[in-house]
């Protein structure tokens, strides 16, 4: 009989694998990079690396006049330029003490809510794409986004970088064709949302891939100052349109969809429901919109008094804030942007560690970040 050593065991040598996901990867939504360590398929360590799209927007803003800075804000979250415009002009108006006319405020609200629908379309579409659904829902969502972009093209001629809002109003009044086109779209849109829901909500594969995956608790979300649909999916009813109403949001009746567990499925559903609420807001705004001037009388070059102002809006991705400091010149002395995508990424590592490679892209997709905003 062969004498065996009791301690000797058959051991397979295993090794953790370090993989660079990004900056060029199909599902990093731009040029995001994650340095991920895998044990087999399981993520054991993750380090996000930013900055591949850094353009120095904040510094550039110090060399531009207050009006010119609007064009820089277009390029932050390029899927939601109208919301960026809105946040910036609110900050500048606060700084200069300019009150926009009523009609302008309604136009801005309509634009911001349409922008939210378009942005959520993209967020959900790419999220489903990360799940591996080969672009079919994405293409349907592109169809609606296209219609919204057509509407924007009517009012300002641009389709991505609008620069439509101005300090004290908007750049031009709504054209005659706009309202009929908007009525047509806004009456169709709920049907389209039902279509997405019918395709996706009860899909067993989608549910098994997202339900109870990467739960973000309310406490952790608040501690990491996560905002937007991610925070609401965790069950915190925090929406700046309700909790700190700007423009004319306090005149509308709408709900804040909240999730219950904060898993990936909740983040998906909250966005889906928010599109419905946005439709509702636009409908009310269309009925209430007064006639009158679309822009306050403000000089082209404003010299705000020395001081500082912070304004924030509920952008599609979360709380987008602009902090402006004036030294009474034609350009801001300092412009700080609170980018929701960037701050939401705080919890990325905590959420992903322990899940598998396939979950990694799905969880990351459920963040709905935009690199233009993360890197600024």
Q: Which is nearer to other proteins, 104 or 363 (by Cβ)? A: 363
Tokens read off for 147: 């219609």
| By CB under 8 A, residue 144 contacts other proteins | no
Q: Which is nearer to other proteins, 279 or 339 (by Cβ)? A: 279
In which element (H, E) is residue 307 found?
strand 307-315
Determine contact, residues 20/356, Cβ cutoff 8 Å: no
| By CB under 8 A, residue 39 contacts other proteins | no
Q: Which is nearer to other proteins, 209 or 303 (by Cβ)? A: 209
| By CB under 8 A, residue 135 contacts other proteins | yes
Min separation Cβ 251 and other proteins, Å = 16
Q: Which is nearer to other proteins, 95 or 122 (by Cβ)? A: 122
Determine contact, residues 88/303, Cβ cutoff 8 Å: no
| Interface pick for other proteins out of 51, 150, 208, 301 (rule CB under 8 A) | 208
Helix (H, G, I), strand (E, B) or coil at 49: strand
| Interface pick for other proteins out of 22, 48, 101, 259 (rule CB under 8 A) | 259
Alpha helix locations (H) across 132-203? 136-156, 178-200
Return the range that interacts with other proteins (CB under 8 A); candidates 66-74, 152-160, 243-251, 281-289. Answer: 281-289
| Interface pick for other proteins out of 74, 93, 273, 314 (rule CB under 8 A) | 273
| By CB under 8 A, residue 280 contacts other proteins | yes
Question: How many angstroms separate the CA atoms of 248 and 241, rounded?
Answer: 9
Q: Which is nearer to other proteins, 103 or 376 (by Cβ)? A: 103
Instruction: Return the DSSP state at 328.
Output: S
Number of chain positions touching other proteins (CB under 8 A): 62
| Interface pick for other proteins out of 79, 92, 124, 361 (rule CB under 8 A) | 361
Min separation Cβ 263 and other proteins, Å = 9
User: Which residues inside 283-302 make contact with other proteins, applying CB under 8 A?
Assistant: 283, 286-287
Cβ-based neighbours of 66, under 8 Å, separated by 6 or more = 92, 96, 167, 301, 302, 304, 330, 331, 332
Min separation Cβ 79 and other proteins, Å = 18
| By CB under 8 A, residue 251 contacts other proteins | no
Min separation Cβ 301 and other proteins, Å = 39
User: Which residues inside 211-250 make contact with other proteins, applying CB under 8 A?
Assistant: 211-212
User: Which residues inside 296-335 make contact with other proteins, applying CB under 8 A?
Assistant: none
Long-range pairs for 280-285 at CB < 8 Å and ≥24 separation? 280/252, 280/253, 280/254, 281/109, 281/113, 281/249, 281/252, 281/254, 282/110, 282/113, 282/114, 282/182, 282/186, 283/186, 284/251, 284/252, 284/253, 284/254, 285/106, 285/109, 285/110, 285/113, 285/248, 285/252
Min separation Cβ 231 and other proteins, Å = 14
Question: How many angstroms separate the CA atoms of 349 and 48, rounded?
Answer: 8
Instruction: Return the DSSP state at 337.
Output: E
| Interface pick for other proteins out of 74, 113, 277, 368 (rule CB under 8 A) | 277
Evaluated on CA atoms 181, 247, 92, 50, the torsion sign reads negative
Determine contact, residues 282/253, Cβ cutoff 8 Å: no
| By CB under 8 A, residue 148 contacts other proteins | no
Determine contact, residues 144/189, Cβ cutoff 8 Å: yes
Instruction: Return the DSSP state at 174.
Output: P
Min separation Cβ 213 and other proteins, Å = 9
Site string for other proteins, 149-188 (x = CB under 8 A): ------------------------------xx--xx-xx-
C-alpha distance from residue 175 to each of 151, 153, 156, 294, 321 (Å) = 10, 11, 9, 12, 30
Determine contact, residues 203/268, Cβ cutoff 8 Å: no
Which positions lie near other proteins, rule CB under 8 A?
17, 19, 25-27, 40-41, 128-136, 139-140, 143, 179-180, 183-184, 186-187, 190-191, 199, 203-209, 211-212, 255, 257-261, 265-266, 269-270, 272-273, 276-277, 279-280, 283, 286-287, 356-361
């Amino acid at each position: 009989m062969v004498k065996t050593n009791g301690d000797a065991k058959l051991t397979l040598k295993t090794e953790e694998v370090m993989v660079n996901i990004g900056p060029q990867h199909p599902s990093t939504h731009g040029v995001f990079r994650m340095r991920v360590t895998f044990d087999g398929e399981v993520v054991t360590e993750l380090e996000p690396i930013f900055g591949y799209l850094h353009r120095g927007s904040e510094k550039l803003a110090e060399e531009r006049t207050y009006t010119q800075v609007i064009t820089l804000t277009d390029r932050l979250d390029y899927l939601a330029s109208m919301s960026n415009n809105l946040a910036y002009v609110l900050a500048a108006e606060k700084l200069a003490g300019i009150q926009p006319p009523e009609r302008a405020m309604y136009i801005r609200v309509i634009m911001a809510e349409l922008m939210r629908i378009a942005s959520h379309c993209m967020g959900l579409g790419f999220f489903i794409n990360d799940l591996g659904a080969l672009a079919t829902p994405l293409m349907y969502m592109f169809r609606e986004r296209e219609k919204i972009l057509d509407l924007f093209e009517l009012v300002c001629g641009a389709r991505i970088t609008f620069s439509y809002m101005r300090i004290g109003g908007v750049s031009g009044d709504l054209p005659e064709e706009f309202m009929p086109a908007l009525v047509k779209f806004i009456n169709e849109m709920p049907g389209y949302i039902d279509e997405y829901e019918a395709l996706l909500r009860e899909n067993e594969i989608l549910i098994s891939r997202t339900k109870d995956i990467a739960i973000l608790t309310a406490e952790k979300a608040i501690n990491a100052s996560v905002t937007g649909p991610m925070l609401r999916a965790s069950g915190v009813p925090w929406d700046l349109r309700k909790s700190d109403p700007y423009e004319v949001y306090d005149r509308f009746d709408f709900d804040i969809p909240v999730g219950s567990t904060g898993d990936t499925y909740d983040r998906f559903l909250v966005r889906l429901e928010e599109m419905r609420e946005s439709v509702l807001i636009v409908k009310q705004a269309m009925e209430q919109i007064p006639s009158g001037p679309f822009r306050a009388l403000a000089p082209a070059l404003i010299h705000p008094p020395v001081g500082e102002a912070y304004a924030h809006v509920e952008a599609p991705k979360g709380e987008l804030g602009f902090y402006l400091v004036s030294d009474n010149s034609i350009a801001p002395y300092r412009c700080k942007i609170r980018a929701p995508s960037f701050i939401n990424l705080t919890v990325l590592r905590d959420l992903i560690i322990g899940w598998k490679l396939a979950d990694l892209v799905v969880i990351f997709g459920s963040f709905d970040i935009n690199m233009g905003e993360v890197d600024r």
